[in-house]
Chains A and B, each alone.
Chain A
Amino acid sequence: MNYKLTIIFFLKVLHLSMGIDYDGWLNIKMEHSLNCENGKYCNRGTISIKSIRTGTSVIDQITFGRTHIDELKELAEMDGFYSIRTICTSADNKETEFLSSVKAQDFLNSGLSDVISAWVLPSGAVMAINFQVDNSSQALVLGSNNYKIHSNFYLRYVEQAPVPDTASYIQKLEREREAREKGELKDNRSFLAKYWMYIVPIAIFVMISGATNPEQAPQGAR
């Protein structure tokens, strides 16, 4: 069998390892409804993740044959969806089923490349697995019998929401208080920046009086 390995490293270790309380492996089984002999869904491949925290994944997918492409084209003609069912198994042996779809036409146009993102809750459970079409790829070159699926897998974490930041606010207040105790902050703005609101009206006044004067001025000269 001609299996292809795609490995994508996704490292944001420092930040993300703080958000996840739990570490373990994940196994995502992908099924689609193309070229299935019996039953609605048949195998498309698997994604296995050794550690949720590091997010290292191994994608193992079938290649599309001519029949797959023909069926996909059929779907695309009627503006249909190419649906992928995923079954996610984790270390505590619970199976969760997800469904996601992309427009068949878009999938063909992108040359069978998609972006798979799995969202992981802080408890380590998978909340969603989304398939989206990669916009950047080029179109499929037809005629061959083996088409690779280019999948990019990202493990995304439900980040911890910030809490009301009282500590830094109090610190800030204390800093301000200290500064006030030390004496007035030195105002190091320029003279113009400090007193522009006095200067501008005077300037306007001068300009207005200057605008009314010109007729008188020549009279004075005479």
Chain B
Amino acid sequence: MGVLSTSIKPNFLGLLKFLNSFNWFIVFFSLINLSVCIYEDQIGKFDWRQTYVGRIKFSQFDTVSTAKKIIVATEENVLAALNLKTGQVVWRHVLESASTGNIQLLHVTDKVVTVSGANPYLVRGWDSTTGVLLWEWSLMLQKDDHAEFSEWWVQHGMLVHMLPVFGSHLEVSMYNLMTGQNRGSTSKLPAIWTNEGCVLSPPYYSCISGSMGSLLLLSLDVTSNAVQIISKPLSQFISTEESSLRPLDANSIQPGFVIGDKKIVLIKNNEFEMLGISVADESASVALVDSTNGPMVLQTWTDDIKGFSLIAHSASTGKEVTEVRCSDPSLRLPEPELAAVICSKTPRELHACRLLVTAADDSLHLMQQAGRVLWTREEALANVVAVEFVDLPVSDLDAAIESEFDQKEAAKMYSSVWAAFSRRLQTQFQQLQTLLQSLQGAETNARDTSTGLVRDYFNLHKIIVLVTDVGKIFGMDNLSGAILWQHYEPSLDPSGAAVFTRRSARHPPHDAYLTIVGKHEETGNGLIISLNPIRGTLVGERSLQLDVQLLQCALLHRADQEKLHALLLLDRDENVQIFPVSAAPLVENMFIYVAEKNTARVQGYALKYDGRSVVAQKTWSLSLGGSEAGHRIVASSAKPASERTHSAGRVLGDRSVLYKYTNPNLVLFVTEGPDAIHKDVVVATCVDAVSGAVIASAAVRRARALPLAVHSDNFLAYVYYNDKHRRTEIGTMELYEGKQRWLEAGAAFSSLRASRAPAVYRAAYVLPAAPRAAAVTHTERSLTDKHVLFALSTGAIVELPWAYLEPRRPVTPTPEHREEGLIPYAPELPLPAEAVINYNRTLHRVSAIYTAPSGLESTSLVLATGLDLFYTRVAPSKTFDLLKDDFDYYLITLVLGALLLATYSTKYFASRKMLKMAWK
């Protein structure tokens, strides 16, 4: 009967146990069948992927092929073609992220030519319509002392490489573009006048040189056979001595440059020619483009008052071209730069231009001549640093109902039964009203966007707040992936930024409140940005720059009167700042730890309110690498702050319970350091962040740690590369109190009064792949099975049940193990293709995976960031609390109706039969 009872258990593991009692081979196959994969018609139903290319470095219009495209090469070492009409990626090549993939040159004719890498350089030709690699040859420089100053361009079918040695000479080599054959030997041009401020405007190399007071403007055509230096005193062009050179933007048609951010000088027939057009703004981006009426000078900049501005002049006459003009105060492009411009001839002799404009916030805009934006790409999203999932507010009606049933509120307001009764009637009247409104027409609701953003029944609809490396913050709808709001903070350096939801949206009338703690880009001091995550408007402290550098930040666990959780900041001088200051008396039993990455020292502080202010007292310090230098913390992982564990233990085969050790203050540190005997050692240490006590630890010899660690509930895992066996392995630990509880159920756990050590189970498995990111699924009550998500270098995200990583997997299973549902030990982890949650949508360079609980216990929301964004939802124990997508409502209605019909008809027939019987 025991076997039967377990088989009836509704969950997946129960089924496993049942099957396991026969043969574990069946278990294996059943797992494959039950693993998470989707049907073909579900593609894109719960997930979306957005592909990005990164900040644009080079761009050129592809006008040769029939389908108009823009070819771009980016800072992320991506070569891609964008559709001119929509901005979608047509094809994309992701090169190596290291300097070997660094793109030095993009040249587009009928083919796309790139030079990438850093000595050896790779010259590649690509087909512009399909992106197929056509040819490739490599180039190795003999000396690479000054290789970083190399300049490349293509001239008359030859690839020119110029290597300036400042103050000495220029080395110019020319190669056949297709084959790499060297035309002649490298020519050395003497040029003692060169310096680091020189600019290249192919084929001219121009410098400002000479002593102060007698500065000369010098230019040299480096490809011509005869060395002809054009030289003019600088005072002929510009009056001020303070001068700088910068080249023209957007692949200008003639060699030229801007002097001192004021004057435009072109080089024509080996002569300088100063244009009569002055640069409109110091920061203006200047480009010289071809148009129907001869060359045209385009300028664009952002004015504080006028906003985005664009003007154009004819280069020959200096007259302003009125068709190409824009001044849009609503368009805010920080530091716009013309990346590529094309002006085509229309039958009516009008200028029809397409301008590709990049901005300092990494966005890419395609504009028409009048400044109308055709499409925008937010390339900042290719570098996401921090992510937070934010709940949406409940609708007004739901809020009213909630406040009605809120215990405290109710006690305050409705002291009498009659008051409560009238309130109930009122709410019901409101409900009726909304029902009538919704019947009248849904359009009225759709007009107001804020009403659209309300929580759905299962809390699956959220807003994802993304903080990007460039300092731009986005609010994104998680169901559609649409950007709802954006906020650009140029001074934010978000490396290591922390995002806190200080007030969720479930406390009407208060709005949600989100704070980002980062660094100031220049000073490194703390920078706090507080905003409303639903609307994207700054609230509270707004954008606040502190005057000290920060060590650590934390959220106070107790909310103040306005349901706002205060922000605690520990600065470098170990002083504590609290926002808002009025919350200081709430600080009690608050502990903070600071881990120094490079020295592996971890320190703990106790925060206390002493009547006037909050003070931090250092209470513990550890040195995770011992006294030796060279140890560093590679990864640290605390439990998610919102985690609630509702399952206290595991039921064993003999019906006893193994209780989990769920210390909420536990932090996992993975350190790595040199060792005298074993080369490198990786040490995983679990530290109680309140008392500083080491709870468990494990050392791996001859291994290097990967910055991947997951920690949830009572288990933790860390990934390392085993140098001895040359493979990636994963070490796992589980902590248990034992078969008896240490504390009564529901009793508060105190780190300071716990001196017992938990039982630690450890195991290691081979991970037959190269992981880039890892995360563990996160559900509201932690009742659902936990799965670990690994983003692999192959571009897949694999979902692996924790049951496979469990350290308690027995090598030789006993019937009791089988009964419990433990999978027998196998050293290698299975990574079946069915477990890939992003099916065939390859994700390049995944940097992190973020998970968040939804309102459904079965479902966890997942966002993978990297070059691409991928969002999906996973159900580790299947959607046990939700009807299937393909649930046949028709059939069940039909069956019910038929049954009802049958019941009544049989009743009728039965009565007739009874009547007949009576007559007999």
Q: Which residues of A line the B interface, CB within 8 A?
A: 19, 21, 79, 81, 83, 88, 90, 94-103, 106, 115, 117, 119, 121-128, 130, 132-135, 156, 158-166, 168-169, 172, 196, 200
Contact A128 B619 (CB under 8 A): no
Chain B: interface secondary structure? strand
Residues of chain A within 8 A of B685, CB atoms compared:
127, 158
Assuming the contacts A162-B762, A164-B766, asked whether A127 and B825 have C-beta atoms less than 8 A apart, the reply is no
* Complex Cα gap A164–B811 (Å): 11
Assuming the contacts A99-B619, A101-B619, A130-B694, asked whether A164 and B765 have C-beta atoms less than 8 A apart, the reply is yes
Interface stretch of the complex, out of B280-288, B408-416, B675-683 = B675-683
Contact A164 B694 (CB under 8 A): no
Residues of chain A within 8 A of B701, CB atoms compared:
122, 160
B577: Cβ under 8 A from any A Cβ: no
Interface pairs (30), CB distance under 8 Å: A81-B606, A81-B617, A97-B623, A98-B620, A99-B618, A99-B692, A100-B692, A101-B606, A115-B755, A117-B693, A121-B681, A121-B683, A122-B678, A122-B681, A122-B699, A123-B626, A127-B623, A127-B624, A128-B622, A128-B624, A130-B692, A132-B754, A132-B755, A160-B698, A160-B700, A160-B701, A161-B700, A162-B762, A165-B811, A196-B3
Choice from B626, B681, B755 contacting A96 with Cβ under 8 Å: B626
Residues of chain B within 8 A of A164, CB atoms compared:
729, 764-766, 827-828
Residues of chain B within 8 A of A196, CB atoms compared:
3-4
Choice from A83, A132, A159, A166 contacting B691 with Cβ under 8 Å: A132
Contact A165 B621 (CB under 8 A): no
Q: Which residues of B line the A interface, CB within 8 A?
A: 3-4, 603, 606, 608, 617-628, 675-678, 681, 683-685, 687, 691-694, 697-701, 722, 729, 731, 752-755, 762-766, 811-812, 825-828
Q: Please report the number of residue pairs spanning A and B whose Cβ atoms sit closer than 8 angstroms.
A: 151
Residues of chain A within 8 A of B691, CB atoms compared:
101, 130, 132
A21–chain B nearest beta-carbon distance, Å:
5
Residues of chain B within 8 A of A128, CB atoms compared:
622-624, 687, 692-694
* Complex Cα gap A169–B812 (Å): 9
B621–chain A nearest beta-carbon distance, Å:
4
Contact B676 A123 (CB under 8 A): yes
* Complex Cα gap A132–B753 (Å): 8
Contact A98 B622 (CB under 8 A): yes
Contact B753 A168 (CB under 8 A): no
Contact B677 A132 (CB under 8 A): no
* Complex Cα gap A81–B627 (Å): 26
Contact A158 B683 (CB under 8 A): yes
Question: Told that A100-B692, A125-B625, A127-B626 touch, could you supply 18 new A-B pairs with CB distance under 8 A?
Answer: A83-B618, A90-B627, A97-B621, A99-B618, A117-B694, A121-B625, A121-B626, A122-B681, A128-B622, A128-B624, A130-B692, A132-B754, A164-B729, A166-B766, A166-B827, A169-B826, A172-B811, A172-B812
* Complex Cα gap A160–B621 (Å): 23
Closest to B752 in A: A103
Assuming the contacts A169-B826, A169-B827, A200-B4, asked whether A121 and B699 have C-beta atoms less than 8 A apart, the reply is yes
Closest to A175 in B: B812
Residue of A19, A101, A159, A163 with highest tally of chain B CB at under 10 A: A163
Closest to A130 in B: B693
* Complex Cα gap A128–B828 (Å): 34
Contact B825 A160 (CB under 8 A): no
Contact B620 A99 (CB under 8 A): yes
B697–chain A nearest beta-carbon distance, Å:
4
Residues of chain A within 8 A of B731, CB atoms compared:
161-162
Residues of chain B within 8 A of A169, CB atoms compared:
811, 825-827
Contact B620 A101 (CB under 8 A): yes
* Complex Cα gap A52–B790 (Å): 40
Choice from B3, B697, B754, B825 contacting A119 with Cβ under 8 Å: B697
Contact B697 A96 (CB under 8 A): no
Residues of chain B within 8 A of A200, CB atoms compared:
4
Residues of chain A within 8 A of B825, CB atoms compared:
165, 169
Closest to A121 in B: B626
B315–chain A nearest beta-carbon distance, Å:
70
Contact A125 B627 (CB under 8 A): yes
Contact B623 A96 (CB under 8 A): yes
Residues of chain B within 8 A of A130, CB atoms compared:
620, 691-694
6 tightest A-B contacts by CB? A125-B626, A161-B698, A94-B627, A101-B619, A164-B827, A99-B621
Residue of A106, A123, A124, A165 with highest tally of chain B CB at under 10 A: A123
Contact B828 A132 (CB under 8 A): no
Closest to A168 in B: B811
A84–chain B nearest beta-carbon distance, Å:
10
Residues of chain B within 8 A of A96, CB atoms compared:
623, 626-627
Assuming the contacts A121-B683, A126-B627, asked whether A133 and B621 have C-beta atoms less than 8 A apart, the reply is no
* Complex Cα gap A122–B685 (Å): 13
A52–chain B nearest beta-carbon distance, Å:
12
Assuming the contacts A81-B606, A134-B755, A172-B811, asked whether A161 and B762 have C-beta atoms less than 8 A apart, the reply is yes
* Complex Cα gap A100–B765 (Å): 35
Closest to B829 in A: A164
* Complex Cα gap A95–B623 (Å): 11
B752–chain A nearest beta-carbon distance, Å:
6
B574–chain A nearest beta-carbon distance, Å:
13
Residues of chain B within 8 A of A163, CB atoms compared:
700, 722, 729, 764
Residues of chain A within 8 A of B765, CB atoms compared:
164
Contact B626 A100 (CB under 8 A): no
B810–chain A nearest beta-carbon distance, Å:
11
Choice from B608, B684, B753 contacting A161 with Cβ under 8 Å: B684
Residues of chain A within 8 A of B694, CB atoms compared:
117, 119, 127-128, 130, 156
Closest to B602 in A: A128
Contact A95 B627 (CB under 8 A): yes
* Complex Cα gap A71–B373 (Å): 72
Closest to A164 in B: B827
Closest to A115 in B: B755
Residues of chain A within 8 A of B626, CB atoms compared:
96, 121, 123-127
Assuming the contacts A96-B627, A123-B676, A127-B624, asked whether A162 and B763 have C-beta atoms less than 8 A apart, the reply is yes
Residue of A83, A121, A168 with highest tally of chain B CB at under 10 A: A121
Residues of chain A within 8 A of B693, CB atoms compared:
117, 128, 130, 132
Residues of chain A within 8 A of B812, CB atoms compared:
172
Closest to B21 in A: A193
Residues of chain A within 8 A of B684, CB atoms compared:
161
* Complex Cα gap A163–B762 (Å): 10
B347–chain A nearest beta-carbon distance, Å:
72
Residues of chain A within 8 A of B608, CB atoms compared:
79
Residues of chain B within 8 A of A21, CB atoms compared:
677-678
B458–chain A nearest beta-carbon distance, Å:
38
Contact A94 B628 (CB under 8 A): yes
Assuming the contacts A99-B621, A121-B683, A168-B811, asked whether A161 and B627 have C-beta atoms less than 8 A apart, the reply is no
* Complex Cα gap A98–B656 (Å): 41
* Complex Cα gap A25–B331 (Å): 71
Residue of B617, B678, B699, B754 with highest tally of chain A CB at under 10 A: B699
Contact B729 A158 (CB under 8 A): no
Contact B699 A158 (CB under 8 A): yes
Contact A123 B623 (CB under 8 A): no
Contact A123 B681 (CB under 8 A): yes
Residue of A122, A128, A196 with highest tally of chain B CB at under 10 A: A128
* Complex Cα gap A220–B692 (Å): 82
* Complex Cα gap A168–B621 (Å): 41
B468–chain A nearest beta-carbon distance, Å:
37
A70–chain B nearest beta-carbon distance, Å:
20
Closest to B683 in A: A158
Contact A159 B826 (CB under 8 A): no
Closest to B698 in A: A161
Residues of chain A within 8 A of B617, CB atoms compared:
81
Residues of chain B within 8 A of A102, CB atoms compared:
752
Closest to A124 in B: B626
Contact B698 A158 (CB under 8 A): yes
Contact B753 A135 (CB under 8 A): yes
Closest to B756 in A: A135
A94–chain B nearest beta-carbon distance, Å:
4
